[in-house]
Structure 1
Amino acid sequence: MSIAAPEHRTEQPPAQHIRTEQPKAQHVRRRELAAFLRSRRERITPEQVGLPRGPRRRTPGLRREEVAQLSAVGVTWYTWIEQARATHVSAQVLDAVARALLMDPTERAHLFALAGTADPRTDPECPVVSTSARKVVERLAPYPAALQNARYDILHANRPFAQVFGDPAELPPAERNCLWLLATSERWKRDFLDRDEMLRDLIAKYRAAMAEHVAEPAWKEQLDRLQAVSGEFRELWGRHEVAPMSPHVKRYRHPVVGLIRLEHRNMWLAPQSPAHRVVAYIPADEESEERLERLAELSAE
């Protein structure tokens, strides 16, 4: 069965009217999507997808009707997509077309990005951290630093981070997350003097970040777990507050060296890992810097 075009569309949509109502950026995005699909279609041979070539083939690669057949999408609807006339393409159609055109993960991600649609079949994020990213984090000592993803998972942390906030490696993988720790950890509740304000701010940042990943299973699973274990999280999440990524000075009470005031600074590892960032905790004053250095000396003894 073919996936038909939405019922409210006519067979001959007023293309010029659509262009005037859509923002220019969306029109450019549709044109890029159309061009990308044509280029992918033209590079696939019939033999690659189990179709006969036939004696009179003039089109390089596959024909539009062949892509529609392989992906179970209506021929008219697929044609509109390649003509930049489709104002919205569903994730179901994009998934089917990506499979029909034998797209690799990078091409598939580009396809969904051009369509402005979240990919519901995004593979789980690889937990392996590159050697270069680890070196960046380690070289920031004696300042605490950690590699995090967009969901605030702690992928790697240096020794000063472990000394100040606790060692993430000692926790189950599902709990190595800043939002989880801020909502549930007794240590973080005790030692983070601005903990209540920090939790509200981090939840607002998390909601803002999640807007681009709302259909991804990993984000939904994490949200469900947080709502299940923390009534405080549920109450704050229900406020629908959003906040931008911005540096903040936070106060931490360390049981050995005392009060430390640190400013959070993000360093993005783009373009290779656009969702990964190194979070460095920089002393906000000389006294805090001296206490971090003292902590490093104690660990070396």
Structure 2
Amino acid sequence: MGDVRPPAIRRELGDFLRTRRERLAPEQVGLPATGRRRTPGLRREEVAVMAGVGVTWYTWLEQGRPINVSMQVLMAVGKALRLDDTEKWHLQRLAGLPLPPAEPSVHDPALVAAFQPVLDKLEPFPTCLQTPQFDLVAYNRAYRFLFTDMDMIPAEERNCAVQFFTDPDWRSRYVDGDIVATRMVAGMRAAVGTDLHTSAAAATVEKLRQRSDEFARLWSRHDILLQDYETKRLNSPLVGLLHLKFVSTYTSDTGHRMTVMTPANDATSQRLTTLTELAANAESGPR
């Protein structure tokens, strides 16, 4: 059976391999330095030899041609390119592993009704339900007022990545904005995976590429990140500096992720309680 993956996914696989190849210096893989090279990193023929595959076959793989790829050969390529476990997982998805179940509509009332009581019970911890593309599906009161009044943002613009890369005020809430930007894009690319050819994922990525040069640059790097457990520092407009751990879990039925922000120190814990009290006073009607 021939390769039935969409051309866009084959190109995505090729671009991913190219960026991984270009980041490796010959001495990193035990090859002798041969002076100045016209292109960065390893040559295609060097990767092919280390992986035990033909140079023409590997060239076609990077070029996104419709060729069959076995798991054994794919893992040999991954080993040659020094891919870590996360990158190998991403490579397997791009090569044609079964896709996750289709996601329900972002604005599905039944989905919101099912998750809203759970989110509300988690106060004072800011909690939200998002799609892999960072669209906000539902959130509790603490999250509503964490960055701004979320209810004041039009529903079609309630996307954390869009707000981060296009709204300076939202971006300024993150103390370490540059680090967050890099990890957010890597997380989106890993979450989207082979769904890039679907309308929802493609539309979000294209919107961000058009509206943010920074996002376009980071997206072209093909970095991926499955989980981000680092503590983030946020400047809340209501209570000041917060040190928060972002803990995410994926829901098996929808593919969405629920993110809970827990305090990393006692001061943050107290401020989250204050935030919830202030949010209750500021709230002016149902979500």
The normalised TM-score by structure 2 is 0.60
Deviation at 1:243, TM superposition (A): 1.5
Deviation at 1:186, TM superposition (A): 1.9
Query: Do 1:118 and 1:214's aligned partners in 2 also have CA atoms closer than 8 Å?
Result: no
Query: Do 1:143 and 1:292's aligned partners in 2 also have CA atoms closer than 8 Å?
Result: yes
Query: Do 1:124 and 1:218's aligned partners in 2 also have CA atoms closer than 8 Å?
Result: no
- Identical residues among aligned pairs (%): 27
Deviation at 1:257, TM superposition (A): 1.8
Counterpart AA for 2:167: S
Does residue 177 of the first structure (1) align with residue 126 of the second (2)? no
Aligned to 1:267: 249
Aligned to 2:119: 137
The size of the alignment, in residue pairs, is 188
Does residue 236 of the first structure (1) align with residue 218 of the second (2)? yes
Aligned to 1:289: 269
Q: How does 1:81-92 map to 2 (within 5 A)?
A: none
Say if 1:231 and 1:126 are closer, same or farther in 2 by CA, change over 3 A.
closer
Query: Do 1:147 and 1:157's aligned partners in 2 also have CA atoms closer than 8 Å?
Result: yes
Counterpart AA for 1:159: R
Deviation at 1:212, TM superposition (A): 2.8
Higher relative contact order (CA 8 A, sep 6+): 2
Counterpart AA for 2:185: I
Query: Do 1:214 and 1:220's aligned partners in 2 also have CA atoms closer than 8 Å?
Result: yes
Q: Deviations over 1:176-196 (max 9, x none)?
A: 111111111222222211111
Query: Do 1:118 and 1:216's aligned partners in 2 also have CA atoms closer than 8 Å?
Result: no
Task: Give the match's secondary structure for 1:281.
Answer: strand
Q: How does 1:66-81 map to 2 (within 5 A)?
A: none
Say if 1:300 and 1:227 are closer, same or farther in 2 by CA, change over 3 A.
closer
Say if 1:236 and 1:140 are closer, same or farther in 2 by CA, change over 3 A.
same
The structure that has the greater radius of gyration is 1
Aligned to 2:131: 149
Task: Give the match's secondary structure for 1:259.
Answer: strand
Q: Distance in 2 between matches of 1:231 and 1:297?
A: 38
Does residue 163 of the first structure (1) align with residue 145 of the second (2)? yes
Query: Do 2:146 and 2:237's aligned partners in 1 also have CA atoms closer than 8 Å?
Result: no
In structure 1, stretches of 5+ residues that fail to align are: 7-86, 89-114
Does residue 298 of the first structure (1) align with residue 282 of the second (2)? no
Aligned to 1:95: none
Deviation at 1:123, TM superposition (A): 8.2
Q: Distance in 2 between matches of 1:208 and 1:268?
A: 13
RMSD: 2.5
Query: Do 1:193 and 1:251's aligned partners in 2 also have CA atoms closer than 8 Å?
Result: yes
In structure 2, stretches of 5+ residues that fail to align are: 3-67, 70-95, 282-287
Does residue 125 of the first structure (1) align with residue 100 of the second (2)? no
Q: Distance in 2 between matches of 1:124 and 1:218?
A: 11
Q: Distance in 2 between matches of 1:123 and 1:143?
A: 26
Q: Deviations over 1:112-131 (max 9, x none)?
A: xxx84669xx6873521242
1:186 aligned to 168, 182, 192, which one? 168
Task: Give the match's secondary structure for 2:196.
Answer: coil
Say if 1:126 and 1:162 are closer, same or farther in 2 by CA, change over 3 A.
closer
Q: Deviations over 1:138-168 (max 9, x none)?
A: 1111110001111111101111011212233
Aligned to 2:192: 210
Q: How does 1:91-110 map to 2 (within 5 A)?
A: none
Q: Distance in 2 between matches of 1:214 and 1:299?
A: 37
Q: Distance in 2 between matches of 1:163 and 1:295?
A: 8
Q: Distance in 2 between matches of 1:124 and 1:217?
A: 13
Say if 1:168 and 1:295 are closer, same or farther in 2 by CA, change over 3 A.
closer
Q: Distance in 1 between matches of 2:169 and 2:189?
A: 24
Counterpart AA for 1:204: A
